[in-house]
Amino acid sequence: MGSESDSQATVQDRISALPDAVLYHILAFLETKCTVRTSILSKRWKNIWAYVPNLYLNDEDFSSFADFIVFVDRALLIRESSAIQKFHLHCNMCHAEDFSRIDGWIRTAIRYNVVELDLCIDADTEEMFELPKSLLTCKTLMVWKLWSTYTIKIPISGWYPNLKFLRVKFKYPSLFNPDNDSMDFSHFPVLEYLRIDGSLGFDAFNLNVCVPALKTLRISLNHEYHQREAYNFLINAPKLEKLDVKEGYLSNYTFKNTKSLVEANIHVFSEEDDEQAASATRATKFLSGISGVKCLTISSPFSTVSIH
């Protein structure tokens, strides 16, 4: 009994003895709601969570959006001026009256020199949420992931000076230009990686990817209606090395400056096509636009062809 008691008395809390920087790194892998709970462990842990560089905030972890607002306000307020490396903000239960609050949260992340922004806004409203224009000039932002249905309008009359990675996921293309059903990616001077995932509706849609530094482009689209003749995509990327396209039906592509293209993977996954002649014309135009590619893979539900 005595030896057991002595052993328990000499047990040390080795984790709490770690340097602050190590604790910040460990907690950076947890959702913010979990990191906050560590504050009850001891006096040593009381404010550690407030200096963790990553914030993971998702309203689906809360019983109501009102509770989520209280939590996020406190999480940002207590940080004072500590930098934010990753800001993961997913709002799936918000309404139009919450937009001003969300705008304030994003502005705070920008003010705290956010490097990676993972933003999802899915509101049950026809009103458009316009992202703050300060995103245009944020010099620290390098990675941006954006998810939305119809809700977000992105400021494009400017530039994103250091953005290298952009992923956009949408349901119907109202993100960049809600009036004209188009997306224009010509405002990203140093962007190297672009991924576009989404669903296209009945209306015409134009995609303009004119990005001088782009090296990798991935496009994955579902066509909910047989309107592919109305989907026109312009790709002008002189440094593009890798292209991945996955569509139900191949849209109308125009390529310019693809001399650097090394690898292209094309997957058309629809098993039915009632416009075979038009589809063949679009496919011929597509392939002629990337004729200099060194490695080409084309696949469908029926076959796969690789050309090296």
For residue 105, give both structure tokens: 């949260």
How high is the pLDDT of residue 153?
A: 73
Report which DSSP code applies to 12: -
Q: What is the spatial distance between Cα 143 and Cα 140, in angstroms, rounded to a whole number?
A: 9
How high is the pLDDT of residue 205?
A: 79
Token pair 């669903």 in the structure block, residue:
199
Report which DSSP code applies to 43: G
Mean pLDDT, the chain, as a whole number? Answer: 81
Q: Could you tell me if 32 and 51 are in contact, meaning their C-beta atoms sit under 8 angstroms apart? A: no
Q: What is the chain's Cα-based Rg?
A: 24
* pLDDT (average), residues 177-191: 76
pLDDT digits (tens, 9 = 90+) for 218-260: 999 887 655 555 788 999 999 999 999 999 888 889 999 889 9
First to last CA, the chain: 74
How high is the pLDDT of residue 91?
A: 94
CB burial of residue 207 (10 Å; 0-12, 13-18, 19+): buried
How high is the pLDDT of residue 200?
A: 79
Q: What is the spatial distance between Cα 166 and Cα 272, in angstroms, rounded to a whole number?
A: 32
State the pairing for strand pair 304-307/295-299: antiparallel
Of the listed ranges 26-35, 95-104, 158-167, 261-270, the one predicted with least confidence = 26-35
How high is the pLDDT of residue 176?
A: 52
Q: What is the spatial distance between Cα 308 and Cα 303, in angstroms, rounded to a whole number?
A: 17
Hey, is 100 helix, strand or coil?
A: helix
* pLDDT (average), residues 191-201: 90
* pLDDT (average), residues 125-131: 82
Q: What is the spatial distance between Cα 119 and Cα 279, in angstroms, rounded to a whole number?
A: 36
How high is the pLDDT of residue 154?
A: 75
Complete DSSP assignment for 170-188: EESS-SSBTTTTEEE--S-
Confidence of residue 9 (pLDDT cuts 50, 70, 90): very low
* pLDDT (average), residues 78-101: 89
Hey, is 300 helix, strand or coil?
A: coil
How high is the pLDDT of residue 304?
A: 60
Distances (CA, A) of 67 to 60, 70, 72, 74, 161: 11, 5, 9, 11, 36
The domain ranges of the chain are 19-243
